[in-house]
Structure 1
Amino acid sequence: MTRRRYVRFEHLGRVRFGRVAPTVDDVTPVEVLSADPIRTDATPTGELLEMEEIRFLAPLLPGRVVTVHSAYADVPAESPRFTLGPPPASVDPQTTVPPPARYAAELAVVIGRDSHVFGYTCANALTTDSLALGPWIVTGIDPASLGIGSMVNGVRRQQSTTGLMPTPVPSLLTHITATTPLSPGDIVLTGTPAGSGDLTPGDWVTVFIEHMGTLGNKVSPTRSR
């Protein structure tokens, strides 16, 4: 399957969907799509935009969130523990969030139609009800052994590989969907490596996953009133 990167972005005051096209002459355009490709049969509109013309948003507005309660390198469990939560507040890439906040690098599985996997994106659960996602959703990638980690102010805090997940993604999804039907736009947070923790005002946090890019956010220097 061809690897693709799907984006949600703002252009001239409109929120639109697209996918990153191949680079030509050092220019990487975004191919505009007619609608949300996760939930509909989106088609190319024929319009191409340069990345400098757009502002990247969280690549989806999630439906429900399935949180898997396990840490990397845990002993494999026959029945992984998970909880189902309501849609979180989505945090866009490269934006500032108010304290208090935490960092926890996670691979997020994005569910498409018929409970099939649409793709994967970087995630960072900054608070109990807000979730940073992005910069895009990657399709056509094997999640079995990807480098994953986080950095705070340029200092590495987490470093691991998805190969150390206690339960691989396909088995996780089989276990979850046996009791919990999933809908397009739902996401599964698959756990985080050791080293997650609290952020302080002014911190810059970056989550990275191999072949999937980086997701950065800043914590505001002061609390919002």
Structure 2
Amino acid sequence: MKQTRVAYAGGIYHATEAEEGLKLQDGRIVAEEEVVWLPPVQPRTVFALGLNYSDHASELSFNAPEEPLVFLKGPNTFVGHRSVTRRPSDVTNMHYECELAVVIGSQARKVKREDAYEYVAGYTVANDYAFRDYLENYYRPNLRVKNRDNCTPIGPWLVSADQISDPMNLSLKTYVNGEITQEGSTKDMIFGIPELIEYLSSFMTLSPGDVILTGTPKGTVDTKVGDEVITEIEGVGRLKNTIVGDEASHL
């Protein structure tokens, strides 16, 4: 099942895909352009993985980590499909990161990797922009790199876990202004989804609504004001976002 959350006519609704547009929870059919797309889930604790693809680590001249490199993201960072993200005027390198987002569906504590998928509600697409000018140490990411308001579009859909037969073998692609600039596969993660759930749940309880952003492959390039960025994951969705400048944003 594919579902999302939207704002429409003063209300917030859960919605599903319809033949022509979206079907709101009250049965109304609306066009995609008539709604404001929200993150398909309301994230609780969000775990983001750094350097979880060896080709991306090499691209940045870092060694691949020997254990998961995890940092946290605040709820202020998330926006929905068709949203805008601000590029600050003082930034010289702001790049996208196409990532598979794993949404936890039930409380998980000390989970063994062979049981990990039992705790997954579903998957969505994330574009976790990095403002690399502010990076002090990749092994201790600076807050200004990954926690700016509206810096992480997510969506458009939450696809239920039973609809994705093998989340560790999905193609990832990014397009900037229609040109493909990034291509990879989730099979190339250093730490796969079962390992990440086992690792995180070994020392803390994971709760429904927690999200794991699983990292990005190589191919990240600088984006400019006016760029349309589409991050796509096979079977999960195509997430559209536009870069705006300071003058076009209140953030």
With the length of structure 1 as denominator, give the TM-score of the two structures.
0.81
Q: Is 1:108 aligned to 2:101, yes or no?
A: yes
Q: Is 1:90 aligned to 2:93, yes or no?
A: no
Contact in 2 for aligned 1:201/1:222 (Cα 8 Å): no
Contact in 2 for aligned 1:77/1:167 (Cα 8 Å): no
Corresponding residue number in structure 2 for 1:39: none
- Superposed counterparts of 1:69-80, under 5 Å: 69-73=50-54, 79-80=67-68
**Aligned amino acid, residue 201 of structure 1:** V
- CA RMSD, Structure 1 to Structure 2 (Å): 2.4
In structure 1, stretches of 5+ residues that fail to align are: 33-44
With CA pairs under 8 Å and 6+ residues apart, which has the higher RCO, 1 or 2? 2
The 3 A distance-change label for structure 1 pair 56 and 72 is: same
Q: Per residue, is there more helix in 1 or in 2? A: 2
C-alpha distance in structure 2 between counterparts of 1:190 and 1:113, whole Å: 19
Contact in 2 for aligned 1:76/1:167 (Cα 8 Å): no
Corresponding residue number in structure 2 for 1:7: 4
C-alpha distance in structure 2 between counterparts of 1:58 and 1:162, whole Å: 22
Q: CA deviation at 1:113?
A: 2.5
Q: CA deviation at 1:51?
A: 4.0
What is the number of residues matched between the two proteins? 205
Q: CA deviation at 1:185?
A: 1.6
The 3 A distance-change label for structure 1 pair 87 and 96 is: closer
Q: Which of 132, 141, 144 is the matching residue for 2:153?
A: 132
Q: Per residue, is there more strand in 1 or in 2? A: 1
**Aligned amino acid, residue 168 of structure 2:** A
C-alpha distance in structure 1 between counterparts of 2:70 and 2:246, whole Å: 34
C-alpha distance in structure 1 between counterparts of 2:181 and 2:204, whole Å: 33
In structure 2, stretches of 5+ residues that fail to align are: 56-62, 89-93, 109-118, 131-145
**Aligned amino acid, residue 105 of structure 1:** C
Q: CA deviation at 1:79?
A: 2.7
The 3 A distance-change label for structure 1 pair 81 and 51 is: same
Q: Is 1:149 aligned to 2:130, yes or no?
A: no
C-alpha distance in structure 2 between counterparts of 1:124 and 1:83, whole Å: 16
